[in-house]
Chain A
Amino acid sequence: MTTLGETTQAGMPAATKTRASIPGWVSALLPLAALGLLAVAFSITNPLAVFESNLPVAEQINVERIALEPGRMIVSVVNGGPEAVTIAQVEVDAAFWKFTISPSPLLPRLGRATIALDYPWVKGEPHVVKIVTATGTTFEGTVAVAAVTPRPGLREFGTYGLLGVYVGIIPVILGLLWFPAMRQLGRRGLGFILALTVGMLVFLLIDTMLEAFEVAGKLPGVFQGAPLALFAALLSWLAIAAVSSRRGGTSSDPVANRLWVATMIALGIGLHNLGEGLAIGAAFALGQAALGSFLVVGFTLHNVTEGIGIAAPVTRDQPSLWRFAGLALLAGAPAIGGAWIGGFAYSPLLAVLFLGIGAGAIWQVIVEVGNLLRRDAERDGLPLISWLNVAGLLVGIGAMYATAFLVKF
C-alpha cells in the first residue's frame, strides 16, 4: 500500500488527498471488482459470438489408468478438454463392449469417471480400450502387456518393497564399498572422483528432466505438465539451497561440511530414485515383469555409480558405519516408496511432480559438489577445470550412459 501511495504522490500531487481517503482494502479490491464486471459484461453481450458458429468442440478424454482384474477391466478417465464430454460407448480391441460408468457418463471439465467392463482379457497380450463420445470422437488407452493389476496387500507390499531395495539400496551400498579403495587415492585422484560424481549427477539431471517432460507431455493440457515439472524443480532447488545456507558456516568444521555435502548428494539421488522406483513399480504393475529380473540387474548396475558419488566428498574423513548406513538409506530407500506408489496408485501428475522435485534436488547437489571441488582446487593451487577433472566428468557421464544401455531399449 505504501508503494501505491508514494507513486500517487509523485505522479499527481493534486489527487493525493482524495486518494488517501480511500481505505487500502478498497483500492486492493477495485481491480478484482472491475474484472468481475468485465466478466459479467462479456457473458451478457458475448462479443465473440461471431467465432462460435457451428465449430465442433475440441473434446479431450485422457485414459489415466487401466487396471485389470480377472475377466474385468477398470478404466479411469479424466476430461482434460475445455467443455463437458459425454461418454456414449466403449470398444475393447475394436469390439463394442457393455460397460458401466460411475459416477456419470457426463464428465464436466476436469471431471473423472471410472468405467468397468467384463472383458475376457488375455494374459501377456496387449489390449486397446477406445472411448467413443456422444459426438463420435474417440480416445484410446492401451494395456501393453495384460496381467492382473496388484492390489495393495502384505505380500505385494513386500514384493514391491524388495524391488525398491534392489534398484535403490543395494546399488548404493555396492558403490559405497569402494570407499576403502577411494581412500588410497591422492588429492588429484580425489578431485577426479568428485568430478566423476558431478558427471554422474549431470547425467541424472538431464535424464530426470527429460523423463519429467515425457510424462508431462501425456498429461491433459490443462495441467500444464512441462511448466509444472520446471516449477517443481525450481522449488525443490531453492528449498534445498535455503536449508543449506541456513546451516550457514562452511568454514567452521570441514569434516562436518563434507559430510553435509555427502548427505545432500544422498538426498538428491534419493529423490531421483523415488522417480525411478515410481516408473519401475508402475511398469511392473502393468505386467511388464516378463523380463523383470534382467531389468532389475540393469538398474542395480546403473545405480552403483551413485554410491561412489555419495562417498566421494568424505574420502579423507572416517565416517562411522551407521552414518554410511544412513546415507545409503537416504539415497536408496525412496526407491521403495516410489515402487509402492507406482505399483498401487500410479498417477502421471504425481510422477511429473516427483521427477521435477528430483531434478531440482540434483541441480543443487551439482552446485554443492562443484563448490567442494573448487575449494579443494583453490587450496591445492590447482586449476578447477583441469584435464584430470574434465576427464573425471566425462568418465562419470560415460559410465552412466554406458550402463543405461542395460535399461533402455
Chain B
Amino acid sequence: MHDSKSLSRRDFLKAGLFGTAGLAGIAAAAQSAATGTAKSPAFAPLPSVPSQDHTGHDLTGTVGDVDTSRFDPMQYLTHFDYGRISRLPTGQTLREWDITAVDAEIEVAPGVYFPAWTYNGTIPGPTLRATEGDRLRVNFYNGGSHPHSIHFHGIHLPSMDGLQVVGSGDRFVYEFDARPFGLHLYHCHVMPLKRHIHKGLYGTFIVDPPGGRAPANEMVMMMNGFDTNFDGENEIYAVNTVAFHYERHPIPLKIGELNRIYLVNITEFDPINSFHLHAGMFKLYRTGTRPDQWEYTDTVMMCQGERHVLEFTLEYPGRYMIHAHQSELAELGWLGFLEAG
C-alpha cells in the first residue's frame, strides 16, 4: 500500500526523504516486529548460575543518567512518610502532613526535562502511610500557578474529597479517618483533570491494617507516564517517574526474603498499564483490602487508578526483569530489574 503511494517522483521525496504521517502510523504498527529483543531468556537458570539478561538490552534504552540529587527513584522506592504523630484527647492517633503544590521541572529521562506540577516538588508526591483508624490531617498549601486540590481515595466525608478547588496561594486542611485499610492513592481533582494528573499531581496513600501486615521488604511503585510534547500521548513511561531507572540501577533484594510491592497505576492517556515479573510468581491482593483473598500470577493488568499489593519471594540469585507487558510501554521506559543475591 505504501509502496505504490511512494512511487511518483514527488511522492518519493515526500515519503522517502521526509516521512509522512501515514507511514509513521504503519511504522508504529510494525514496530514490535522490528526489535524482537524485549525478553530475557525464558529458562530459569540453575541456582548456582547468575541469570543472563543481556540479550540485546545493551542496545535499548536511554543514554546517560538522571541527577538523583533532586529525586532519587531508589530512595522513593522504600521511603514511607508516616507524618507527625500525636495523640488526640480521645486516644486516637493523629498524623499530620504538610503538602505544598509547586511548579517544578522534573527530569523524566536523562536530559529530558518536563514542566511539571508537583506535590512537595517531586513526582510522585510523598508516600503517605497510616494505620486504619488513625485521624489524618493534611495541611495543603497551593504554591503552584494554577488552582489545585488533593483527592484521597478511601471512605470519608464528601466535603473532604478534594473536589473543592484551592486557588493559587490558598490553603485547605483535609481531615478524615484512615479507612478502610488497603492500598490507595491521592491526586489533584481540578479540571481539566487529564492535565492536572499527567503534569504530576499524584502520590501513594497506604492504610495498614490494625496490627500491620507480615514483615517484608516493602517497595512503592507508581506506574506513570509523561507526555513531554503535549500531543495527548506519553513519550515516556516508568515506574516512579524516571524511564529505565531500575534497569540502569537494579533494585537489590535478598533471596528467600518476602517482598511486598505497593503497585499503583496513575498512567494518563493509556487506558491500562501492566506489571510483569520474570522468572517468578507473586500473590496479588487487589487494592490490598482483603488479606484472605489473593490470586497467584506473574502478570497483572490495571486501569488508571487501580492499585494492588504484590507479595513474592525470589529463589535464585540473578536479575529478574520487571516491566509493563505491553511491549510499547516497556520499550518507552517502564522496564527494570530486581537483583536477588
Which residues from chain A sit less than 8 Å from chain B, CB to CB? 63, 65, 86, 88-99, 105, 118-122, 125-128, 132-138, 140-145, 210-211, 214-215, 218, 276, 279-280, 282-283, 286-288, 290-291, 295, 346, 348, 351, 407-409
Contacts and interface: CB of A to CB of B under 8 A. Distances in A.
B98 interface: no
A98 B13 contact: no
Nearest to A56: B115
B141 to A, nearest CB: 22
Contact of A142 (B13, B24, B59, B332): B24
Nearest to A89: B62
Nearest to B35: A95
B291 interface: no
Given A96-B244, A138-B235, A128 B17 contact: no
Given A98-B58, A144-B16, A128 B28 contact: yes
B93 interface: no
Given A134-B111, A142-B19, A282-B12, 16 more contacts: A65-B17, A93-B35, A95-B31, A95-B60, A96-B333, A98-B58, A105-B111, A122-B33, A127-B27, A132-B109, A138-B229, A144-B19, A211-B10, A279-B12, A280-B9, A288-B7
Interface of B: 2-20, 23-24, 26-28, 30-31, 33-37, 56, 58-63, 108-114, 226, 228-229, 235, 243-244, 328, 331-333
B331 A282 contact: no
16 contacts: A65-B17, A95-B31, A96-B332, A97-B59, A97-B60, A118-B59, A120-B34, A121-B34, A136-B113, A144-B2, A145-B6, A215-B13, A279-B10, A283-B9, A283-B13, A409-B4
B245 to A, nearest CB: 12
A286 B244 contact: no
B318 to A, nearest CB: 23
B23 A142 contact: yes
A206 to B, nearest CB: 12
B229 A136 contact: yes
A93 B30 contact: yes
Contacts of B19: 63, 128, 140-144
B112 A132 contact: yes
A348 B17 contact: yes
Contacts of A282: 12-13, 16-17
Contacts of A295: 7
Nearest to A97: B60
A136 B111 CA distance: 9
Contacts of A93: 27-28, 30-31, 34-35
A283 B18 CA distance: 11
A99 B36 CA distance: 18
A276 B3 contact: no
Contacts, number: 189
Contacts of A90: 63
Contacts of B15: 142, 144
B38 to A, nearest CB: 9
A211 B13 CA distance: 9
Contact of B9 (A86, A88, A96, A211): A211
Contact of A88 (B3, B4, B111): B111
Given A136-B226, A142-B20, A144-B23, A407 B9 contact: yes
A118 to B, nearest CB: 5
A409 B7 contact: yes
Contact of B111 (A89, A98, A138): A89
A204 to B, nearest CB: 12
A347 B24 CA distance: 22
Contacts of A137: 228-229
Contacts of B108: 136
Contact of A98 (B60, B114, B228): B60
Given A144-B6, A211-B10, A128 B24 contact: yes
Nearest to B109: A89
Nearest to A137: B229
B271 to A, nearest CB: 17
A96 B61 CA distance: 5
A214 B12 contact: no
Nearest to A121: B34
A136 B4 CA distance: 35
B63 A127 contact: no
Given A89-B62, A126-B26, A408 B8 contact: yes
B224 to A, nearest CB: 14
Nearest to A211: B10
Contacts of A119: 59
A95 B332 contact: yes
B333 A279 contact: no
A96 B60 contact: yes
A37 B69 CA distance: 45
A96 B34 contact: no
Contact of A218 (B17, B63, B111): B17
Contacts of B3: 145, 288, 290-291
A408 B243 contact: no
A300 B58 CA distance: 49
